[in-house]
Structure 1
């Protein structure tokens, strides 16, 4: 709970600064002082408070906050991205406008003086009079000494155009992302050769799913759809690699119940993700086991199939380090030590980063989730800084790592550039 509150505090500060920027670009720059600017300021303040209120409120059971709060979080993110991208062309445009105004020529020229004679008769030579020069020149006006560096009307038009473009673009991307996130998971089929896999086990299939994230926005129907999709694959093994829930067994037990209908030839298995440790991991381990999935907590299971043997191991999530009892952290030695090195071993570990340690135990293949494939572009670039593999098949120190995008979402019900996914991993003998 403390970790969640700390995260909410940092998020509140960050979103406050973001909303200040959005207010400047979308409200202050596009309106004149008056009622509409005040209304925009109040709206920005309310929306800024909505983000931490949603995260805290949903933890307290105020699920009605989830949809408006998380949708605004997604829209806010893409408004920030689009406006940030527009900063450079906007800056260049303002420079061009200033230069044009500074070098503009005057529209009328000053009259040329003309010499004429006086009309009075005299013996002396007439003195010339300068026509058009009424007197000594007056000093230039103050506003003529320094030309204005911008045209307020053009600046306002430019700001409004950028705001409209950003609003339409962010809304369109968010709408597409909602449709993708709430749609059916895509099936990803991948063949992975393992040097130690017996030829008799060639073609062994593991249905892999992660990050189902049952919670305030996804319930029992979400689980039923995932179970039905997995059962259609007729897999040999089912692996659920963490982040099943965002809530307690009391709140989400009925939503997880369809997992009891998972079908496979040699069993269904589960390892904890980081979100299980925010949701009462001890209760969830017992509940998942009751539903018929074998929970691999720093354990290894021998799989005998088609006349061959394969070791299937599982470790607790990296975020559990420092806990005790059922919530103990990952123990790679317990799961992978003292085994027959001639057998192939497949490790279930929620975070791809676990492969750094798993490679020391000559793991052939690690199946992971956690990243959501980045969930929303360009956030995937940030995820790449924390995890060695973001999506699909990669390798870490000689250990193959396959990362599935996950079948659900966390936070905003939005996926852009990373569709929800169920993966069918087919093992091939090399």
Structure 2
């Protein structure tokens, strides 16, 4: 299975490279007509496979970011070629309808290529904006359990705190919590980007502590797969030292307007020894409101039959870059967004941060603000 995955990735990269070489060859044609066609092809395939080799061999730290970044460049080149073709096709049809001759001059060649450059740059700017400028998704739900006063829950999953997403993002989240007047913040996994190196180097503990202090009932979190890749203990200590109440296969009861509410947090399924949800629920009073943090949305169908009122998840990033959105939704019952299923309400966030490279296309960095009302409202 592992070899099949790597072979698939390798073949996809070669396909992307061929498309990129063709696009680059077309774009450079008016200015480098004397340049051999092979130059574009050799250059693109050399960069692709060189970066792939460096990434596989892990020659330097975070080498996967370089191959990811190059894949994004190639992807945007292909999208640029597609959009430019559509626009040129529209121009061709318009000229045909009004019975005017097509302008095949060198001026049109330059115009098309300048348009392609603008589309390419626009994709990068928009993707960068979508990664670093989060939105707030608002949702109101009603549960079939006593709740004397509505509870305002903020959800920020997949922060991936690291060198590319650090203290500024944490401070912005603090401001968002204050402005939203949230009672509590839930962070369902992937808090750190694999380790605590950047968190420590840039002294982000004070920023995270201020975030925890900005929310009346505090911040509750559970660990995701990226928090468990060999640095579980340092990450857990860093979060707890900053004031985050970490729930690793644990449940805690909080008071809200004299009403008890249970918050349950699960390990990500990367942790093979994690406790089953049914075991966690067996130790609490499920007649009271139950909130579940589960990093991956993979168990939503099973959880929809349990006395869970609200589950918040992340992990999918809503694909992060189009067209991965369709893959995410194809392999998950709920790959992104909100749905009431069975006995509960389920929210899967695209994440407050991002993975790998700071770009999003077809998805957006976000937090959710969920107002939960009960029978006694």
TM-score under structure 2 normalisation?
A: 0.80
Give the equivalent residue in structure 2 for 1:101.
none
Query: Which residue of 180, 183, 196 maps to 2:130?
Result: 180
Using the alignment, how far apart are the partners of 1:80 and 1:427 within structure 2? 44
Deviations 1:155-185 (A, max 9, x none): x9999998776554333222211123123x2
Larger radius of gyration: 1
Q: How far 1:293 moved relative to its partner?
A: 1.2
Give the equivalent residue in structure 1 for 2:374.
429
1:192 aligns with 2:192: no
TM-score under structure 1 normalisation?
A: 0.71
Q: Which moved more, 1:52-61 or 1:392-401?
A: 52-61
- The answer (yes or no) to whether the contact 2:162–2:199 under 8 Å persists in 1 is yes
Greater RCO between the two (CA within 8 Å, min separation 6)?
2
Using the alignment, how far apart are the partners of 1:212 and 1:310 within structure 2? 25
1:217 aligns with 2:168: no
Change (3 A) 1:58 1:405: farther
Give the equivalent residue in structure 1 for 2:247.
296
Give the equivalent residue in structure 1 for 2:100.
none
Query: Which residue of 312, 318, 342 maps to 1:367?
Result: 312
Change (3 A) 1:79 1:171: same
**Which sections of structure 2, spanning at least 5 residues, go unmatched?**
90-103
Give the equivalent residue in structure 2 for 1:123.
none
Change (3 A) 1:299 1:84: same
Q: How far 1:196 moved relative to its partner?
A: 0.7
Q: How far 1:207 moved relative to its partner?
A: 1.7
Counterparts of 1:234-245 in structure 2, within 5 Å, are: 234-245=181-192
Q: How far 1:357 moved relative to its partner?
A: 2.6
Q: How far 1:421 moved relative to its partner?
A: 1.0
Using the alignment, how far apart are the partners of 2:340 and 2:33 within structure 1? 57
Deviations 1:328-385 (A, max 9, x none): 3352123222432321211111122232232232211101112223323332111101
Using the alignment, how far apart are the partners of 1:411 and 1:229 within structure 2? 24
Counterparts of 1:106-117 in structure 2, within 5 Å, are: none
Q: In angstroms, what is the RMSD of aligned CA positions?
A: 3.7
Q: Which moved more, 1:28-37 or 1:298-307?
A: 28-37
Using the alignment, how far apart are the partners of 1:343 and 1:193 within structure 2? 14
- The answer (yes or no) to whether the contact 1:207–1:237 under 8 Å persists in 2 is yes
- The answer (yes or no) to whether the contact 2:184–2:218 under 8 Å persists in 1 is yes
- The answer (yes or no) to whether the contact 1:71–1:413 under 8 Å persists in 2 is no
1:170 aligns with 2:132: no
Give the equivalent residue in structure 1 for 2:301.
356
Counterparts of 1:309-320 in structure 2, within 5 Å, are: 309-320=260-271
Q: Which moved more, 1:243-252 or 1:404-413?
A: 243-252
1:72 aligns with 2:17: no
**Which sections of structure 1, spanning at least 5 residues, go unmatched?**
92-153
- The answer (yes or no) to whether the contact 2:163–2:198 under 8 Å persists in 1 is no
Give the equivalent residue in structure 2 for 1:286.
237
Change (3 A) 1:172 1:195: same
Change (3 A) 1:414 1:43: same
Give the equivalent residue in structure 2 for 1:380.
325
Using the alignment, how far apart are the partners of 2:62 and 2:228 within structure 1? 21
How many positions carry a matched residue from both structures? 357
Give the equivalent residue in structure 1 for 2:153.
206
Using the alignment, how far apart are the partners of 2:275 and 2:84 within structure 1? 45
Deviations 1:44-94 (A, max 9, x none): 02431365367568894367x95x655433232233345467889999xxx
- The answer (yes or no) to whether the contact 1:15–1:51 under 8 Å persists in 2 is no
1:334 aligns with 2:279: yes
Q: How far 1:238 moved relative to its partner?
A: 1.5
